[in-house]
Amino acid sequence: MLKKFFLIILLLLLADSLSAQNVLFNSKNRLSFADNLFCEQDYLRAFNEYREYLKFGYNDTVIFKISISLAQMGRFSEAIDYNKTLFGSLRLSEEAKFEFYRNLFLSNRINEFKYFYETDSFIPSEKEVYLKRMLLTSDLLSMKKYNLNLDELLKAFPRSIADTLTNFYKRLSFPNQKDPMLAGIYSALIPGLGKVYTEEYGDGITAFLLTGILTYLAVDNFNADHKYRGWLFTGLAAYFYAGNIYGSVSSAHKFNADLRLSLDSDMKIFFNKNNYFIPKPRFICD
Amino acid sequence: MRLNFKYLLLFFIISVINIKPQDDLQRQVEFADNLYHQKLFYDAITEYKRLLFFDVNRTYSFYANNKIAQSYKGGGKFDDAVKYFKKAELSTLDQSEKFESKLEIIKVNILRETTQQSIDLIDELLSEEKDKEKVKQLDYWKAWTYMFANKWEIAYQILNIYPEFSELSKYCKEVIDEKYSVNFAKLLAYILPGAGQFYTGEYLSGAMSLSWNILFGYLTINSFVEERVFDGFAIGTLLWMRFYRGNYQNAERFAENKNIEIANNKLKYIQQNYQGLKP
Amino acid sequence: MKIILSIIFLLFFLPLKAQTDWERWQAKEVLYLVGKAEVRDYSIDRSSFGSTVLSSIRNGYYFLISDLDGENCPFHPSCSAFAVEAIKETNILQGSLIFADRFTRDLNFVKNPNQYKIHEGSKLFDPYYNYLLSETAIFTNNKK
């Protein structure tokens, strides 16, 4: 009898020393610590803790939170992999699917988005509107006007931003673009005129003066019979004349690119600031 | 009798289990410290955070926050370090611990070269500090702040008051003595092109500067002598003036660069050889 | 008790943006430095014969003229580096035309503040890829 007790004690002590991995590291505590890190937005640490936790058993909420942690850190493709594993989950399949679409959208994998969206017959109606918004936003951000219909756009987003959206839509046709060809022709006629056309007035005047002075020097030297100097300045004048034509064409390109860039950054800032008009993922702490 | 023994045993086991939580925290501290000493700062922070999370009585809150901050500092993440030193300061009621945290914040500010913040903090503490020993410490860190801001004269003046800091003040004096005078270099260059560069030891650059200036100076004067006024103006403004300006800009630049080098060398020496407290 | 605990937790874990820790980092030794002395990049590009010649010419220009005639260029990259890059990325003809245009813009002493971004606080950022006659190149390179 006594022997048995000793054995039990020994076993208990053994079990204790085996579990000597601190109580702090048991699965329950690991989970609560991980949740805390998640709330602190310390996502990489939370992610590691959740993964350790999963070694003890399956938990779909944990997998969901892992996917959110990854997405928050910008690791979208890994997040998408985790999202996919939850499609069969009882409680979280809808949410996981929505996060899946969101991650595809945020990582700019629009073709995949469209493919799944068109073949998916299980999209809940309350999420439908948000998916529609993602699609329209990505069309808007890719600046393909022919894909877009203003009425559809206005209908999909809150009424309060109708003016901003209309403004973006109008800017998409770039009414103020400059024609590079025209800029080149202007500069060929009068040096610097092309730059004036692309609204670089200072550069235009400088180009005019530079070519003018070099031409004057060339003519003056020929008149004074300084042949060598005459040809030198002729060459320089021709070089800068050609350079200015090239510069005017490239200036028109730059002007147009700047229009696109400013629209791009305006739209991005606007949508980013408003979280793309999509609700935040579940479980995220404020 | 046997039954009683069984209960006794059970009681014993339960009590062992009951003691455990405190023991676990202690083990966690050791675990985290171990990571910290191995310079695995990222993981150390995770473990200190775990410690903080389960330490409901806040026994270790100052210790762990302080260690997290030190870990961030060890990874060169100074902003986070300051944040956690602040938390450490807020988590304790002990005045000496609070003072220690403030000193740590000052040290991080020294390292990240946010001079003004460091000086403001020190001055704020100095204004209400009566303890001579603490004033001395604050002055010491003030001197370090100025050393990192490349203002060795002020650092020297502060350190020179205390005989204990004679070694550091000696280093400051050495830097002050070794440094080139930027204004003197410029003045030399104004008077004779290239002379400023010679003063800072850049002989080749000085000689080339001098030759360009002689050449274009000669061409300019020659053009005027031969009454080619347009050429004279063109060469004078476009070439001679350009190289003359380049000459005194270079003198200034070389002197400044040399001074930075001198200061950096001294700081490196101090980092490796000085035994006293360092930020 | 629960309330007290949660208050303690709240006090303790003030929400922190932990973006520094979104990637693992290592210990880093801090070097005591007061600043960095400027050093001119004299490296020779040996990737092709043309680049070797070009970068040698550029180095000669640096050594004989640019290092001695003071601070003249308001742009980054400087005119010589810009020319070398432009020629390398396109061809000698287009590169020279791009350089002629840059030189003209350099001469313009009333610079349009909206035309260039600011580089490191003082210089105007003017990279070659803005002048390749391609709107897409400008757009993709400048996109944030």
Instruction: For residues B190 and B220, state if they share a domain.
Output: yes
- In whole angstroms, what is the distance from residue C31 CA to residue B16 CA? 49
Identify all chain C residues contacting A205, using CB atoms and an 8 Å cutoff: 108
Asked if the structure places residue A157 within a domain, the reply is no
Confidence of residue A161 (pLDDT cuts 50, 70, 90): very high
Measure in Å the smallest separation between the Cα of B46 and chain A Cα atoms: 7
For the segment C25-72, what is each residue's pLDDT rounded down to a tens digit? 999 988 898 888 777 888 888 888 888 998 899 899 988 888 888 888
Nearest residue in chain A measured CA to CA from B55: A24
Which percentage of chain A shows pLDDT scores above 90?
A: 76
Confidence of residue B12 (pLDDT cuts 50, 70, 90): low
Nearest residue in chain C measured CA to CA from B279: C32
* Residue the block writes with tokens 């304790």: B92
Helix (H) or strand (E) holding B82: helix B78-90
- In whole angstroms, what is the distance from residue B68 CA to residue C31 CA? 21
- Whole-complex ipTM: 0.80
Which residues of B make CB contacts under 8 Å with A?
Answer: 2, 5-6, 9, 13, 16, 20-21, 24-25, 27-28, 31, 46, 49-50, 53-54
Instruction: For residues B164 and B239, state if they share a domain.
Output: no
Give A212-220 contacts, CB < 8 A, sequence gap 24+. A214/A240
pLDDT for B190: 94
* Adjacent-strand bridge partners of C117: C125
Q: What are phi and psi of A121, to 5 degrees?
A: -105, 5
Q: Do C70 and B149 touch (CB under 8 A)?
A: no
Asked if the structure places residue A136 within a domain, the reply is no
Q: What are phi and psi of A91, to 5 degrees?
A: -90, -30
Examine residue C77 and say whether the peptide bond preceding it is cis (omega within 30 degrees of 0).
yes
pLDDT for C129: 95
Q: Average pLDDT of chain A?
A: 91
Decide if C67 touches A, using CB distance below 8 A: no
pLDDT for C34: 86
* Residue A241: Cβ within 10 Å count: 19
Q: DSSP for C17-36, please give it.
A: --GGGGS-----PPP--S--
For the segment A75-124, what is each residue's pLDDT rounded down to a tens digit? 999 999 999 999 988 888 889 999 999 999 999 999 999 999 998 877 88
Nearest residue in chain A measured CA to CA from C25: A44
Q: Identify whether the C-beta of residue B116 lies closer than 8 Å to the C-beta of residue B149.
A: no
Nearest residue in chain C measured CA to CA from B46: C21
Q: Do B264 and C34 touch (CB under 8 A)?
A: yes
Position C10 pLDDT exceeds 50: no
* Residue the block writes with tokens 């000086």: B119
Position B72 pLDDT exceeds 70: yes
Which residue segment(s) compose the domain that A232 sits in? 180-271
Domain boundary among B112, B145, B169: B112
Q: Do C28 and B58 touch (CB under 8 A)?
A: no
Q: Reduce the DSSP state of residue C75 to 3 states and report it.
A: strand
Q: Where are the alpha helices (DSSP H) in A40-192?
A: 43-54, 60-72, 76-85, 93-106, 110-119, 125-141, 150-156, 162-171, 180-189
Identify all chain B residues contacting C64, using CB atoms and an 8 Å cutoff: 208
Asked if the structure places residue B2 within a domain, the reply is no
- In whole angstroms, what is the distance from residue B232 CA to residue B221 CA? 7
Asked if the structure places residue A222 within a domain, the reply is yes
Decide if C10 touches B, using CB distance below 8 A: no
Confidence of residue C7 (pLDDT cuts 50, 70, 90): very low
- In whole angstroms, what is the distance from residue B60 CA to residue B24 CA? 13
Q: Identify whether the C-beta of residue B140 lies closer than 8 Å to the C-beta of residue B105.
A: no
What CATH number should be reported for the domain holding residue B100? 1.25.40.10
Q: Do B148 and C16 touch (CB under 8 A)?
A: no
pLDDT for B67: 97
Identify all chain C residues contacting B205, using CB atoms and an 8 Å cutoff: 67-68
Which residues of A make CB contacts under 8 Å with B?
Answer: 1, 5, 9, 12, 16, 22-24, 29, 32-33, 36-37, 42, 45, 48
- In whole angstroms, what is the distance from residue A184 CA to residue B192 CA? 50
Which residue segment(s) compose the domain that B147 sits in? 115-178
Q: Do B2 and A1 touch (CB under 8 A)?
A: yes
Q: Reduce the DSSP state of residue C14 to 3 states and report it.
A: coil
pLDDT for A263: 95
Q: What are phi and psi of B93, to 5 degrees?
A: -105, -10
Asked if the structure places residue B16 within a domain, the reply is no
Position B11 pLDDT exceeds 60: no
Q: Identify whether the C-beta of residue C40 lies closer than 8 Å to the C-beta of residue C62.
A: yes
Asked if the structure places residue B277 within a domain, the reply is no
Distances (CA, A) of B163 to B103, B130, B140, B141: 22, 20, 12, 16
Confidence of residue B4 (pLDDT cuts 50, 70, 90): low
Nearest by Cα to C74 from C105, C43, C36, C99: C105
Q: Average pLDDT of chain B?
A: 91
Which percentage of chain C shows pLDDT scores above 70?
A: 87
Q: Show me where the domains of chain C are located.
A: 71-142
pLDDT for C16: 45
Out of B61, B258, B260, the one facing C35 most closely (by C-beta) is: B260
Residue range B208-221: average pLDDT?
95
User: What is the token pair recorded at C64?
Assistant: 């004989």
Nearest residue in chain C measured CA to CA from B246: C70
Count how many domains chain B has: 3
Nearest by Cα to B141 from A111, A16, B129: B129
Count how many domains chain A has: 1
Measure in Å the smallest separation between the Cα of B6 and chain A Cα atoms: 8
pLDDT for A144: 84
Contacts of C142 by beta carbon, 8 Å cutoff, 6+ apart: A257, A261, C130
Out of A40, A247, A258, the one facing C101 most closely (by C-beta) is: A247
Dihedral sign, Cα of residue A164, residue A170, residue A175, residue A178: positive
User: What is the token pair recorded at C20?
Assistant: 């520094």
End-to-end CA gap in chain C? 50
Identify all chain B residues contacting A47, using CB atoms and an 8 Å cutoff: none
* Adjacent-strand bridge partners of C124: C75, C118
For the segment B236-266, what is each residue's pLDDT rounded down to a tens digit? 988 899 999 999 999 999 999 999 999 999 9
Q: Identify whether the C-beta of residue B122 lies closer than 8 Å to the C-beta of residue B106.
A: yes
Residue range A187-196: average pLDDT?
97
Q: Which residue has the higher pLDDT, B230 or A233?
A: A233
Position C1 pLDDT exceeds 90: no
Dihedral sign, Cα of residue B119, residue B120, residue B124, residue B125: negative
